[in-house]
């Protein structure tokens, strides 16, 4: 039998021809060498909606608490399963998040939907839990200079600070999501080494974060640098625990998300209406728009559970409240039809 197999194999199983000649199987779905473009894409993608936190945090106009709560409630109805609600940082640093407790207590929590909040330190964590948070997030940077300029300490020091938060979260059985910023480029350091990103991601993952979101903070990534970085990180952290957080500052976000999906990533962060600009490039955009991401995913036959029309309603609402135009191309195009 083995001899027969070998004979058959020699004749039939040459590279690239496998798709036609799997004589001994019935159920194999083999992709031909030509169809590189659409294979092994995840069947479903989880969208992590960061508009109410990352988005609003980077908007100049301070939005009333009621509007924030309404936005989150509308997003809850659109089918999203993760909505980053607010941030327990000191309002001295981030005035937009000053109403963190009221927002957390005021939203209608939909069953099956998670509402993570940022907790930069133990105090923030305690306040978050007190306000009813059941998932939190911590932020590390892959760039030393960015860490120093942003939170006034080295990357290592920041990870040690988070240790406290991790311990407390474990005791309270609160899951923690880890963010790594500047994964392809830093406004101060320029190009960031993929190994550094892998190192920080690995630290956060081994500290206990259930998921690591890799953020292209200034949007300079392209499918080239994205692939390089993801290859390095996925050697240290399982791909199923990775997410991408792409900024659209140079218009590269959707292309970057596509290559990430092709590499097995199935969690994508985005912001309704593309809320949130870029503090390092005035007037430029920041977060990629959830509507545009969902449009692409649905066009690829990937399930998200999100109702695009309801999502667009939430986007129109918050843009009216902010008195600004949406950053989502889908929203811009669709509302004219």
Toward another protein, which CB reaches closer, 102 or 228? 228
Strand order in the sheet with 176-181: 82-83, 46-49, 267-270, 242-246, 211-216, 176-181, 136-141, 117-118, 86-87
* 33 is a contact residue toward another protein (CB under 8 A): yes
Q: Which of 80, 88, 85, 86 is nearest to 48 (CA)?
A: 80
Q: Does 22 bind another protein (CB under 8 A)?
A: yes
Q: Which of 26, 111, 152, 171 binds another protein (CB under 8 A)?
A: 26
38/206 with CB nearer another protein = 38
Q: Which of 259, 307, 313, 317 binds another protein (CB under 8 A)?
A: 259
Q: Does 264 bind another protein (CB under 8 A)?
A: yes
What distance in Å separates the CA atoms of residue 271 and residue 292, rounded to the nearest whole number? 10
Determine, following the binding rule CB under 8 A, whether residue 231 of this chain makes contact with another protein. Answer: yes
CA 76, CA 306: separation in Å to the nearest integer?
10
CA dihedral 81, 293, 275, 323 (to 10 degrees): -110
Contact call for residue 146 and another protein (CB under 8 A) = no
- The pair of three-digit structure tokens given for residue 110, joined into one six-digit string: 């939909």
Residue 3 interacts with another protein (CB under 8 A): yes or no: no
Out of 54, 84, 216, 248, point to the residue binding another protein (CB under 8 A). 248
Contact 279/247 with Cβ under 8 angstroms?
no
Alpha-carbon gap, residue 232 to 238, rounded angstroms: 11
With beta carbons less than 8 A apart as the criterion, state whether 23 and 9 touch: no
DSSP 52: I
**Beta carbon nearer to another protein, 15 or 112:** 15
| Least distance from another protein to the Cβ atom of residue 124, Å | 29
User: Smallest gap, in angstroms, from Cβ of residue 149 to another protein?
Assistant: 13
Query: Can you tell me which of 10, 35, 43, 152 binds another protein, judged by CB under 8 A?
Result: 35
Residues 296-325 touching another protein, rule: CB under 8 A, are: 296, 298-301
Of the candidates 181, 177, 90, 92, which has an alpha carbon nearest to the alpha carbon of residue 133? 177
Among 1, 3, 111, 323, the residue binding another protein under the rule CB under 8 A is: 1
Cβ nearer to another protein, comparing 117 with 257: 257
Contacts of 276 by beta carbon, 8 Å cutoff, 6+ apart:
51, 54, 55, 56, 57, 58, 59, 286, 287
Q: Which residues are catalytic?
A: 278
| Residue 16 interacts with another protein (CB under 8 A): yes or no | yes
User: Looking at 159, 254, 312, 318, which residue binds another protein (CB under 8 A)?
Assistant: 254
> Which region, judged by CB under 8 A, interacts with another protein, from 59-67, 113-121, 208-216, 257-265?
257-265
User: Is 216 near another protein (CB under 8 A)?
Assistant: no
**Contact between 191 and another protein per CB under 8 A:** no
Q: Binding another protein by CB under 8 A: which of 87, 181, 225, 304?
A: 225
CA-closest candidate to residue 143, choices 84, 185, 100: 185
In a 10 Å sphere around its CB, with 0-12 CB exposed, 13-18 middle and 19+ buried, how is residue 269 labelled?
buried
Q: 3-state class of 104 per DSSP?
A: helix
Q: In the complex, which residues of this chain contact another protein (CB under 8 A)?
A: 1, 5, 9, 13-16, 18-19, 22, 24-28, 30-31, 33-40, 219, 221-225, 227, 231, 248-252, 254-255, 257-259, 262-264, 278, 280-285, 289, 292, 295-296, 298-301, 328-330, 332-334, 336-337
């Amino acid at each position: 039998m083995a001899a027969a197999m070998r004979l058959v194999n020699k004749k039939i199983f040459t590279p690239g021809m496998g798709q036609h000649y799997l004589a001994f199987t019935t159920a194999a779905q083999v992709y031909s060498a030509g169809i590189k473009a659409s294979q092994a894409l995840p069947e479903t993608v989880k969208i992590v909606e960061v508009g109410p936190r990352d988005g609003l945090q980077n908007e100049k106009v301070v939005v009333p608490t009621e509007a924030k709560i309404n936005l989150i409630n509308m997003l809850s109805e659109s089918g999203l399963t993760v909505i980053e609600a607010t941030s327990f940082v000191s309002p001295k640093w981030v005035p937009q998040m000053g109403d963190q407790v009221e927002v957390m207590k005021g939203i209608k929590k939909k069953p099956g939907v998670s509402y993570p909040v940022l907790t930069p330190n133990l105090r923030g964590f305690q306040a978050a839990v007190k306000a009813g948070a059941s998932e939190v997030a911590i932020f590390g940077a892959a760039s030393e200079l960015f860490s120093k300029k942003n939170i006034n300490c080295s990357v290592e020091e920041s990870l040690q600070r988070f240790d406290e938060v991790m311990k407390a979260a474990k005791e309270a059985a609160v899951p923690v999501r880890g963010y790594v910023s500047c994964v392809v480029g830093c406004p101060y350091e320029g190009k960031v080494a993929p190994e550094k990103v892998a190192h920080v991601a690995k630290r956060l993952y081994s500290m206990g974060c259930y998921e690591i979101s890799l953020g292209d903070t200034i949007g300079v990534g392209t499918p080239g640098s994205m692939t390089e970085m993801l290859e390095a990180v996925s050697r240290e952290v399982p791909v199923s625990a990775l997410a991408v957080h792409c900024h659209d500052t140079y218009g590269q976000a959707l292309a970057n998300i596509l290559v990430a999906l092709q590499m097995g990533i199935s969690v994508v962060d985005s912001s309704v209406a593309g809320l949130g600009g870029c503090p390092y490039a005035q007037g430029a955009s920041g977060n990629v728009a959830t509507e545009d991401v969902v449009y692409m995913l649905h066009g690829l036959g990937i399930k998200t559970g999100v109702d695009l029309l309801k999502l667009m309603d939430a986007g129109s609402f918050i843009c009216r409240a902010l008195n600004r135009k949406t950053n989502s191309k889908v929203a811009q195009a669709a509302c004219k039809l």
